[in-house]
């Protein structure tokens, strides 16, 4: 029965019930009430979203998106060839792979929001890590948050079709918006940017809000780092080990502290993901893994010492293992995740950009300078238009796409763009694909039978049917004056 018929039937049942329940004592009044209800039911107008849902039949496919910040085939391929990433190798063998083309400027919040919305940063409004200061402390910028996003994201789009979502740690998901399912926002743990911008939060961390109590217990404390795990990933000297343990916050360009905070953040979200998936698998799950990016930024000169001058051989030999070891770590985590989802799930591994050597290492003076002068570091990064200034690894425009499972074709090579992920996910779920997303559905990686059974249906825009949720945050929501300033600077429309 379609949704229209269901609604009509519901009205008929309610009419019958109210007509029958009080028949004897107040018969005439009851008949009048029943007639009024019937008229109201017949007049009941469906909202545009309900109408769209009534015309849509989801495919029943479940999708798992795993975002690995900065994953790059130049690092993965030698390990894949050596058989050291068995899970990823199996996904590639069973499915499709290709470069996921990124865009400039290469700023992770903008790129991950582009993946989730299918729109350009100009359109969705998340262009940078921060917005100009709108609070009384003019030196401190405001870290960009979900209240600044101007477009619907995948987690907003599924609910009206009765499908569930679960997103975890994804950039720019704080404050967590109400969804059909759950969101664990990106501010539950300490990350570089949260610490640098004072963005650590205690409210609206999750949806539903009570989920925060459950996941907080799984946060891996960087002040008590899991050294047994860290020792498995990289062979630190006694001095380096003590320095890593002693660091109390991530310091720009300081590889030990940046690695520790990135790793503890990712480990926290990994534990949360496994616990949440144990309770059931939403139709669309989005997991975000941060640590590869800070590790590649700060350890690349040990990984490819020949591209730098002055990198000492013995140290490079030990520390250069972290980048490959961390890919092995991610592969093992994937195995755990895959053991908890339906075997027919479409798994998509994606990254927002790739990495390469910058051929420049921050000088000890720079590290020292930025250690206690957050504002200078920030301005320095802004001037060069990249966050990687002075770091040994820098972004490239070549991210990764590996997709397998369900109706994904086997053994396909493709070429995709960040813009293509959202429309492809919608098509796989059997939902309408909006014409205002510039990307394409990656039909070349999908079985033709599936596309025949679930032809791609287009609509003009999800924004024509659904409203953007707004979560009010007391000390962050900009007032009218601040909004006007942001508009005049072109940060928002
Ligand atoms: Zn980066």
Tens digits of per-residue pLDDT, 216-252?
Answer: 999 999 999 999 999 999 999 999 999 999 988 777 7
The answer to whether 84 and 37 have CB atoms below 8 angstroms apart is: no
Tell me how far the alpha carbon of residue 295 lies from the centroid of ligand 1, in angstroms. 9
- Ligand 1 centroid distance, CA of 12 (Å): 58
Peptide bond before residue 208 is cis, with ω within 30 degrees of 0: yes
CA of 444 to the centre of ligand 1 (A): 30
Cβ neighbour number for residue 440 with a 10 Å cutoff: 16
Q: What is the mean pLDDT of residues 26-46?
A: 55
For residues 121 and 94, the answer to whether their CB atoms sit within 8 Å is no
Q: Find the 413 Cα to ligand 1 centroid distance in Å.
A: 26
- Taking residues 123-149, what's their average pLDDT? 75
Compute, in angstroms, the gap from residue 286 CA to the centroid of ligand 1.
Answer: 19
| CA proximity to 349, closest of 82, 17, 90 | 90
Centre of ligand 1 to C-alpha 426, Å, is 28
Distance from Cα 486 to the centre of ligand 1, integer Å? 25
Alpha carbon distances (Å) from 398 to 104, 218, 350, 355: 11, 33, 11, 8
| Distance in Å, CA 297 to ligand 1 centroid | 6
pLDDT over 70, % of the chain: 78
Q: d(Cα 153, Cα 440) in Å, to the nearest integer? A: 16
Contact 66, 348 (CB under 8 A): yes
CA dihedral (355, 418, 76, 84) positive or negative = positive
User: What's the 1 CA to ligand 1 centre distance in angstroms?
Assistant: 49
Pull the structure tokens for residue 477.
């929501």
* Interval between CA 208 and ligand 1 midpoint (Å): 30
Mean pLDDT check: name the lowest of 177-186, 187-196, 482-491.
482-491
Alpha helices, H only, 3-133: 3-21, 27-43, 48-54, 73-81, 86-94, 108-117, 121-124
- Ligand 1 centre and the CA of 212: distance in Å? 27
Q: How far apart are CA 94 and CA 112, in angstroms?
A: 26
Residue 134: the pLDDT is: 56
- Under a CB-based contact definition with an 8 Å cutoff, are residues 54 and 46 in contact? yes
User: Using one digit for the tens of pLDDT, what is the confidence trace for 326-360?
Assistant: 999 999 999 999 999 999 999 999 999 999 998 88
- For residue 243, how far is its CA from the centre of ligand 1 (angstroms)? 23
The rounded Å distance from CA 24 to ligand 1 centre is: 74
298 CA from centroid of ligand 1 (Å): 10
Higher pLDDT, 134 or 305: 305
Residue 60, pLDDT above cutoff 90: yes
Q: Is 433 exposed, middle or buried (0-12, 13-18, 19+ CB in 10 A)?
A: buried
User: How many whole angstroms from 429 Cα to the centroid of ligand 1?
Assistant: 31
Which pLDDT score, from 0 to 100, does residue 11 have? 36
Q: For residue 327, what pLDDT is reported? A: 98
pLDDT confidence of residue 362: 74
Q: Give the helix, strand, coil percentages of the chain, each rounded to 5.
A: 45, 15, 40
If you measure from the C-alpha of residue 107 to the centroid of ligand 1, how many angstroms do you get, rounded to a whole number?
A: 7
Q: Is the pLDDT of residue 26 over 70?
A: no
Query: Which of 304-308, 448-452, 481-485 is the least confident region?
Result: 481-485
Residues in the chain: 493
User: Is residue 457 within 8 Å of residue 56, measured between CB atoms?
Assistant: yes
Burial of 447 by CB count in 10 Å (0-12 exposed, 13-18 middle, 19+ buried)?
A: middle
> In angstroms, what is the span from residue 386 Cα to ligand 1's centroid?
9
Which helix (DSSP H) or strand (DSSP E) does residue 116 occupy? helix 108-117
Q: 283 vs 40, which has greater pLDDT?
A: 283
**Gap from CA of 420 to ligand 1 centroid (Å):** 21
Percent of the chain whose pLDDT exceeds 90: 68
- Ligand 1 centroid–CA 325 distance in Å is 19
Give residue 371's pLDDT band: very low, low, confident or very high (50, 70, 90): low
pLDDT above 60 (res 147): yes
pTM to 2 decimal places: 0.85
Give me ligand 1 centre to Cα 388, in Å: 6
Mean of pLDDT values over 29-58: 72
Which pLDDT value is given to residue 128? 80
Task: Look over the chain and give the mean of its residue pLDDT values, rounded to a whole number.
Answer: 85
Q: How many angstroms is it from 106 CA to the middle of ligand 1?
A: 8
- Distance (angstroms) between ligand 1 centre and the Cα of 387 equals 7
Kindly give the distance from the C-alpha atom of residue 382 to the centroid of ligand 1, in angstroms, as a whole number. Answer: 14
**Distance from Cα 284 to the centre of ligand 1, integer Å:** 26
pLDDT in tens, 115-132: 999 999 999 999 887 766
Task: Flag whether pLDDT at 16 surpasses 90.
Answer: no
Report for 24-38, 198-212, 419-433: range of highest mean pLDDT? 419-433
Q: How many angstroms separate the alpha carbon of residue 439 from the centre of ligand 1?
A: 23
Ligand 1 mean position to 480 CA, how many Å? 33
Distance 384 CA to ligand 1 centre (A): 14
Distance 377 CA to ligand 1 centre (A): 15
Tell me the CA–centroid distance for residue 67 and ligand 1, in Å.
13
- Distance of CA 390 from the midpoint of ligand 1 (Å): 12
Lowest mean pLDDT among 56-60, 95-99, 361-365: 361-365
Query: How remote is the CA of residue 357 from the centroid of ligand 1, in Å?
Result: 12
Task: Write down the residue that tokens 């007639």 correspond to.
Answer: 35
Residue 98 has pLDDT above 50, yes or no: yes
CB atoms within 10 A of CB 139: 9
The whole-angstrom separation of Cα 481 and Cα 493 is 14
Q: Is the dihedral of CA 290, 292, 295, 300 positive or negative?
A: negative
Distance 292 CA to ligand 1 centre (A): 9
Q: What is the pLDDT of residue 210?
A: 96
CB neighbours (10 Å) of residue 384? 10
User: Cβ atoms within 10 A of the Cβ of 391, count?
Assistant: 24
Distance from the alpha carbon of residue 396 to the mean position of ligand 1, in angstroms: 10
By CB neighbour count within 10 A (0-12 exposed, 13-18 middle, 19+ buried), where does 452 fall?
Answer: exposed
């Amino acid at each position: 029965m379609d949704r229209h018929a269901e609604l009509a039937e519901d009205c008929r049942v309610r009419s019958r019930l109210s007509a029958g329940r009080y028949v004897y004592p107040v018969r005439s009044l009851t008949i009048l009430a029943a007639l009024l209800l019937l008229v109201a039911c017949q007049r009941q107008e469906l909202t545009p979203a309900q109408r769209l849902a009534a015309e849509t039949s989801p495919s029943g496919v479940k999708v798992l998106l795993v975002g690995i910040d900065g994953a790059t085939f130049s690092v993965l391929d030698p390990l894949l060839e050596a058989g050291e990433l068995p899970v990823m190798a199996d996904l590639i063998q069973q499915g499709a792979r290709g470069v996921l083309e990124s865009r400039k400027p290469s700023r992770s919040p903008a790129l991950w929001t582009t993946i989730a919305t299918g729109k350009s940063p100009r359109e969705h409004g998340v262009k940078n890590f921060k917005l100009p200061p709108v609070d009384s402390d003019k030196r401190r910028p405001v870290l960009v948050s979900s209240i600044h996003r101007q477009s619907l994201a995948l987690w907003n789009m599924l609910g009206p079709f009765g499908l569930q979502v679960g997103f975890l740690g994804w950039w720019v998901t704080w404050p967590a918006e109400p969804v059909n399912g759950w969101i664990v926002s990106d501010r539950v743990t300490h990350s570089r940017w949260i610490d640098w911008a004072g963005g650590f939060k205690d409210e609206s961390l999750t949806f539903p809000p009570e989920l925060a109590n459950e996941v907080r217990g799984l946060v891996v404390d960087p002040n008590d780092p899991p050294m047994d795990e860290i020792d498995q990933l990289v062979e630190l000297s006694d001095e380096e080990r003590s320095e890593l343990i002693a660091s109390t916050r991530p310091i720009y360009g300081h590889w030990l502290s940046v690695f520790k905070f990135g790793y503890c953040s990712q480990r926290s979200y990994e534990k949360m993901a496994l616990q949440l998936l144990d309770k059931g698998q939403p139709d669309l799950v989005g997991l975000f893994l941060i640590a590869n990016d800070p590790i590649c930024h700060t350890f690349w000169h040990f990984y490819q010492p020949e591209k730098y001058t002055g990198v000492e051989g013995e140290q490079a030999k030990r520390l250069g293992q972290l980048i490959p070891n961390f890919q092995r770590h991610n592969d093992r985590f994937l195995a755990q995740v895959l053991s908890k989802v339906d075997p027919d799930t479409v798994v998509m591994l994606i990254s927002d950009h790739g990495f390469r050597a910058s051929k420049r290492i921050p000088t000890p003076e720079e590290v020292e300078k930025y250690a206690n002068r957050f504002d200078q570091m920030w301005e320095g990064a802004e001037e060069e238009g990249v966050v990687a200034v002075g770091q040994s690894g820098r972004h490239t425009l070549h991210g990764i796409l590996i997709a397998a499972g369900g109706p994904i074709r086997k053994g396909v090579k493709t070429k995709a763009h960040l813009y293509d992920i959202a429309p492809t996910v919608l098509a796989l779920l059997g939902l309408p694909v909006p014409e205002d997303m510039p990307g394409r559905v990656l039909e070349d990686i999908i079985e033709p039978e599936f596309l025949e059974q679930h032809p791609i249906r287009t609509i003009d825009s999800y924004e024509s049917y659904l409203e953007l949720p707004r979560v009010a945050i007391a000390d962050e929501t900009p007032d009218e004056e601040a909004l006007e300033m942001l508009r005049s600077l072109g940060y928002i429309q």
